Structure 1
Amino acid sequence: MEPIVGLITGILWGYIFQRARILRFEKHIGLLTLTDLTVLKFLLSGVVVGTLGINLLATLGLAPYHLKPTFVAANFVGGVIYGLGWAILGYCPGTAPGAVGEGSLDGLFAVLGGLCGAAAFAHTYPFWKQTLYGIGGYGKVSFPQLLHLPPLLLAVLFAGLLLAFIFFLEKMGW
């Protein structure tokens, strides 16, 4: 059953990505040059839905919520690599396969680059675990724990701030 749900979900996401035009190279370059914030608004909308959805499901006991440990240095280096790849290729990992589906040859290079990067990381993982994972390892921490607030309340506040920011960007014509 899971493969069918995954296939249907993938088709729906692909359709939404295509209709929102965020599979286009120009849209990503527009984000990176801050001339077209369509991709940013789309991504933030996804964060709003995901934040509310997972916290609501977890609060109702319908889905488990598993925190992953925080490793500041590893997250920072991974973020830099991710951002550089996005800036160089003009696609993020979520939109590159969709761009390939639309016939984009440069999207194919983004997918292949991501797969090569994942393979390189997997083969060098012991090195990274010995070095970067030891710097800024805080264990399983979350903002609700740090702020002593209920997770769902914090999710609603965070989602509200993101929605306000999205509407601000729209009002400014960005």
Structure 2
Amino acid sequence: MGPLIVNEIISPNTNLLIAMLIGIGFGFVLESSGFSSSRKLAGMFYGYDTTVLKVFFTAAITAMIGLLFFSLFGWIDLSYVYVNPTYLTSAMVGGAVMGAGFIIGGFCPGTAFCALSIGKLDALAFVGGLVLGIIFFTEGYPMWEDLYKANFMGTPTMNELLDIPRGIFALGLILAAFAMFWVGEWAEKKFPREEY
């Protein structure tokens, strides 16, 4: 809850409680939306179910618009919002590894734990692989530290990289989201699959 703690509006303990409640709520929404189904999640890559694309794109643009308006009204200082440092090479390699795991296993880390919480055994295998991957990465870190730290770019945002105002970038992303929603609808009609 960044700025709320920095400005001492809430205590660190209250922050942890709020984070736990948000996590429980997020898991409930994932499960209610069917995101504990590996078939639904893998359907994104095969074109027969683009719910994942629609939900996460909607979440991204909602958060982006909310932050922009909160900043405009002075309700939040965007300089307090943490931006992960960008290591381009490791981001691309990590994205490829996670994408491959997503296609093969049908889960991402968050949805795997969501499915595990309702007793799905395929999710248990996926979480086991996730834990082994973490151990493999951390124990072998000295071997690929240079790869991990390659192409450090600082903490730029996309609008800074493209050298355009935040509002223009937001409009472009909203238009891209609508285009992707249309492509998703087209793909679901083109690659239909019986209910699973």
Q: What range is the shorter-chain TM-score in? A: 0.7 to 0.9
- What percent of counterpart residues are identical? 25
Correspondence for 2:176: 161
Correspondence for 2:37: 24
Correspondence for 1:137: 152
Normalised TM-score (structure 2):
0.74
Match of 2:93 among 73, 77, 88: 77
Deviation, 1:57, is 4.5
Superimposed CA distance per residue, residues 15-72 of structure 1 (whole angstroms, 9 cap, x where no aligned partner): 2112211211110221222221112212222222233334444553345133333222
* Aligned-CA RMSD value: 2.4
Deviation, 1:105, is 0.7
Matches for 1:90-129 after TM superposition, within 5 Å: 90-129=106-145
- Asked if the contact 1:52–1:159 (Cα under 8 Å) also holds between the matched residues in 2, the reply is no
Q: Which has the larger radius of gyration?
A: 2
Superimposed CA distance per residue, residues 123-160 of structure 1 (whole angstroms, 9 cap, x where no aligned partner): 223332223422x3333333222333332442343134
Q: Counterpart amino acid of 1:147?
A: L
Distance 1:110 1:55 in 2: 37
| Structure 1 unaligned residues grouped into runs of 5+ | none
- Asked if the contact 2:84–2:155 (Cα under 8 Å) also holds between the matched residues in 1, the reply is yes
Q: Counterpart amino acid of 1:34?
A: G
| 3-state SS, counterpart of residue 96 of structure 2 | helix
Superimposed CA distance per residue, residues 66-90 of structure 1 (whole angstroms, 9 cap, x where no aligned partner): 3333222211110111012112211
Distance 2:163 2:32 in 1: 40
- Asked if the contact 1:58–1:65 (Cα under 8 Å) also holds between the matched residues in 2, the reply is no
